[in-house]
Amino acid sequence: MQKILYCADKPLKNKPFPFLPLVVTRRIKDVYKKDYPLVIFSEDAVKNKQINLQLLQDKVCFINFSREGENNFELTGKFGFLDYLVDGHSKEKVLFKIHRAWGVVASRRKILNLERGILSKDKKLEKITLVDPSCDCYNWRYFVHRSQQELSRARRHFYNLSFIAVDIDYFRQVNELYGIKVADSMISDMVKIIKKILRKEDIVSRWRDDEFFIIMPYISSDNAYRVARRIKNKIAGHKFKYKKLSLSIHASIAFVSFPQDNVVNTADVVNALTKCLATAKGKGGNVIIPYSPVAYNIVCREKEEASVDELQERIKKMDSLLTRDLLEMIYGFAKAIEVKDAYTAKHTESTAVIAEKIARELSVPSDEIENVKRAAILHDLGKVGIDESILAKKGPLNKEEREVVKTHPWIATEILREIHALRGTIPAILYHHERFDGSGYPLGLKGEEIPLGARIIAVADVYQALISNRPYRKAFNKQAAIKIIREQTGKHFDPKIVDVFLKIVGMNKNNSRE
């Protein structure tokens, strides 16, 4: 039998119930310890000591009376104890009551374990339903629930409450061009930046993929602007890194405050922040827009008065200008490469021809063929950021120089990222040095994780490099170059692309068009 704690008010001459494993104490603090789930109080201890019944809720307790009396049961019930014992009770009767008490202890433990299990599951469910696991902040469900609570408290206690929205500019581009792993890493870093700026009591929630809403109790409109400005500047000044990629981003920020802006519920807050962010995007992003009901009424009236025909005409003019200038832009970039590296200029023209033929042979859609062709022309654009002494070096590059050269895909990506018309070329440019077996750079993508355009350009690029004179070696003949490409099939190159390439080279050779 487990030991039972006996709490007495005075020193005992004789230990009661000698057949029980009692541990006697006069200190009430011992009673509250977890070591003893079963406790017997002497009659004097119950009457004279101040007992905190809240701390006894997980214990089973008895009172030990010196004799039977009418008040025994009443006093036991008053304290909420299980039962009482009397000095004159037989051993059998005492043991019966004690065994019953241990049964209650066991049942309570089972119930407690069940409750803990349910609580643990509830917390897990809450985490699943209310927390965004990818960036360690709350999700939109939590924002909807919590924002209404905070608005009600602010109204009831007459304090300021502000909400800030942070929207990453051109986030979809990052997701499409660099992939979900890079985008998730960037989101995670951005949440950390925001949390460092905020107080512990502020709450960050992910509203959409690229939008975060912040709840800030006791913050006025003026202070909300100061926080928004700090967030904007910190994001703009941060380099978001993933492996060897390094990205700079900007954010559009909006804020609305209670009671200044007359928002009374969550719907009002969300509508206000959404309007502000739309205005920020219309201005090109990277701005802070405060909510003002008066200003938005004016904007809405102006939008209603705008002519549909006028808007359509503007779109046509913009589209015309884009089409006319696009080729000039591409070949202007190509000229920039030529000035930097004469080999690269000739190399890119030949690479583009082969890449386009491979894409056509694979029945790639026409718009994607154009992207492959443009990417092939621009795939070495990033070399404008590489020192000429490295590009023109006559001997092999050392480790540091090789690492510098490896930065040229993401330099090109950063140059082209803001140009909408060339956005489709970026995956092929960024990943054309990835290898089919996963040993390439910048991200070590493998197999069909590598965009198709990049796999096409990889073959065309290496072939042209092999048959061209370089500062540090003479050109291989075509047979030797093709042998190297065959040997690297499945390692460096996609076997499917190599098969098509060999077919094209054979056609070119037969028709003397190579």
Place of tokens 């355009």: 453
pLDDT at 117: 78
Angstrom CA distances, 2 to 38, 98, 109, 497, stand at: 9, 11, 15, 76
Give the list of residues 6+ apart from residue 453 with CB closer than 8 angstroms, or none: 359, 368, 371, 372, 375, 425, 427, 428
- Which of 249, 103, 68, 253 is closest to 170 using CA atoms? 249
146, burial (CB in 10 Å: exposed 0-12, middle 13-18, buried 19+): middle
Q: Cα(395)–Cα(392) distance, rounded to whole angstroms? A: 9
Per-residue b/e over 274-297, b at no fewer than 16 CB within 10 Å?
ebbbebbeeeebebbbbbbeeeee
**Within 13 Å and on the Cβ side, how many CA atoms surround 361?**
18
471, burial (CB in 10 Å: exposed 0-12, middle 13-18, buried 19+): exposed
pLDDT at 305: 45
For residue 88, give the 3-state DSSP assignment. Answer: coil
Angstrom CA distances, 485 to 432, 458, 460, 492, 501, stand at: 15, 11, 10, 8, 10
- Which of 16, 23, 39, 38 is closest to 89 using CA atoms? 16
415: Cα separation from own chain's centroid:
26
Which domains can be identified in the chain, with CATH numbers?
A: 4-110 (3.40.50.2300), 133-305 (3.30.70.270), 313-510 (1.10.3210.10)
Q: Which residues pair with 473 in a beta bridge?
A: 470
- Prediction pTM value: 0.53
Q: Are 8 and 44 in contact (CB under 8 A)?
A: yes
Mean pLDDT in runs of 10 for the chain (514 residues)?
90 89 92 89 89 87 90 88 91 93 89 79 65 84 91 92 93 78 89 94 91 94 93 92 82 93 92 91 87 54 47 52 54 57 61 92 92 88 82 83 88 78 86 94 91 95 86 83 92 94 70 40
- Encoded tokens for 8: 């007495």
Q: Which residues pair with 41 in a beta bridge?
A: 7, 63
- Encoded tokens for 416: 């082209």
Q: Are 7 and 41 in contact (CB under 8 A)?
A: yes
Cis peptide before 18 (omega within 30 of 0): no
Q: Cα(408)–Cα(411) distance, rounded to whole angstroms? A: 5
Q: What angle do CA 243, 248, 254 make, to 5 degrees?
A: 130
Place of tokens 């433990």: 109
142 phi and psi angles, rounded to 5 deg: -65, -40
Place of tokens 């992207």: 371
**Within 13 Å and on the Cβ side, how many CA atoms surround 293?**
9
Compute how many other C-beta atoms are within 10 angstroms of the C-beta atom of residue 361: 16
Place of tokens 């066991």: 106
pLDDT at 381: 82
Answer left, alpha or beta for residue 512, where phi above 0 means left and psi between -120 and 50 means alpha: left
Compute how many other C-beta atoms are within 10 angstroms of the C-beta atom of residue 271: 15
- Which of 330, 312, 180 is closest to 242 using CA atoms? 180
- Which of 128, 125, 107 is closest to 117 using CA atoms? 125
pLDDT at 178: 77
Q: Cα(13)–Cα(15) distance, rounded to whole angstroms? A: 7
